[in-house]
Amino acid sequence: MTFFPVALLLLRGIAVSSASTVNLTLYRITPRNYTGIADLDTGDAAGDAFFGLYEKAAPVVCRDRDPRSGSSALCGNSPILQIPGFNVYTATKVEADARMGDYAQCNPSLDTGVFRCSIFAGSLPDGSTPKHQCWYNFTGRPEWKAEFADVCEMSECGCDAVYSLSVGREHPSTSRAFKPRPKPPAGDLKQYVGWAAGQLGRMLNGTWYSTRKAGQCKVGQQIGKDCWWRETEQPRVVNATCVNDNMVRAVQSRQPSCFKDCPRPNDQTSDCWVQCLFETMVGNATKSPPLPPTPKAVIVRAFEQSFESDSPAKGGCADVLPCPEPCTPPCWAVPDGDPCRNTNCLDALTNLCDGARRASAGNCLVCAGQHQAALMHAGCGESDFDNFCRSA
């Protein structure tokens, strides 16, 4: 989808006349020190499942890349947002005005870690906006003209209700059925994984949302009169490793031999493992016999089941308690010199592999192998893995 420039927004009141509201369940993968969803991006189940699986590409696509180059949000945000044993998924129920505005890209500063949101449609280098791409005739969202007519002025190209108050929504990538490309591109692994990640996005076809703080309801305010959205409940905060592992296992079951043939079958950072994962997800018609894509429903169901219970036997994940202040990641998970808290081997094993342990000792030992480098950094030895996994 092409996004066209928009004008600098003119501050307007946020009174609205729509009485129609929607209830959404919004998911977010995040380090534990970021809470809530104000000025952050979220997704529906398919949308955030994509984010979790897309991050599995980082060991390949971010190799030898300066995170400050700005060439990739995945690689640029990695030092702040991809911290082993410190990430969670949140599920938040939201009531919102049914009118959905522009999706904002909300990303952290590499210097401060503070999130800032920018209008996804962008603006021209000189700050101007082509008149033919205002809120009322934006090519990609023709419904805005009617939906926001009572709170936006036709004489003004920009409108806060559209761009910074209402819940922003990035439409699914396509309304057509996913059709896998029959042949991956020729080239190195980094190029292949980047292509496959794009295929995965089209296959899952999820929806992303942005919830700007300026439109959030305060106590006593009413949607449709004073504000645009409110959190109504946050039913689950669960271990991100558990959720991702549930999705990965669902994918691996489609082509287990590929992973078993890797020199290090449980090393999720190895070239072989990453290639197997993305090939199994998006399919490969050049194989004999052809490998079909993993059905969207298989991946999304594994994601949703993670939130439905805390029982590993039912595909569920354990709740994660609020992070004590100061909420900093464990020292074994971040570069030397970064703010962190000292933890021991048991803490690291619990953060990374407790969900797997509750499923079975075998699953736990596989998990320990997958995170061996981080666990060794936390002071663990081989005997610690065995003792922990067999103590369930």
Who's near 209: CB < 8 A, 6+ residues apart?
Answer: 24, 26, 41, 42, 43, 44, 47, 103, 167, 168, 169, 170
Q: What is the DSSP letter of 312?
A: G
pLDDT at res. 1: 35
What is the pLDDT at residue 20?
92
Beta-strand ranges (E) seen in 298-366 are none
So what's the pLDDT on residue 69? 43
pLDDT of residue 173: 53
How far is the C-alpha of 116 from the C-alpha of 39, rounded, in Å? 7
Q: Tell me, what's the pLDDT at 15? A: 43
Q: What is the mean pLDDT of residues 269-297?
A: 93
Other Cβ atoms closer than 10 A to 269:
15
Q: How far apart are CA 29 and CA 41, in angstroms?
A: 10
**Choice between 8 and 249, residue whose per-residue pLDDT is larger:** 249
48 contacts 28 by C-beta, under 8 angstroms: yes
pTM over 0.85: no
Instruction: Supply the mean pLDDT for the chain.
Output: 84
- Omega within 30 of 0 (cis) for the link into 339: no
Q: Residue 18: its pLDDT value, please?
A: 52
Label the pairing between strands 168-170 and 101-102: parallel
pLDDT digits (tens, 9 = 90+) for 298-338: 999 999 999 999 998 999 998 998 888 888 887 777 777 77
Q: Is 368 helix (H, G, I), strand (E, B) or coil?
A: helix
- Name the token pair of 337: 């010199």
Considering Cα of 53, then 54, then 55, then 56, what sign does the dihedral take?
positive
The domain limits of the chain are 21-238, 328-392
Q: Which two tokens stand for residue 275?
A: 């290639």
Per cent of the chain over pLDDT 70 is 85
| CA 47-242-40 angle, 5° bins | 40
pLDDT at residue 259, as a whole number: 96
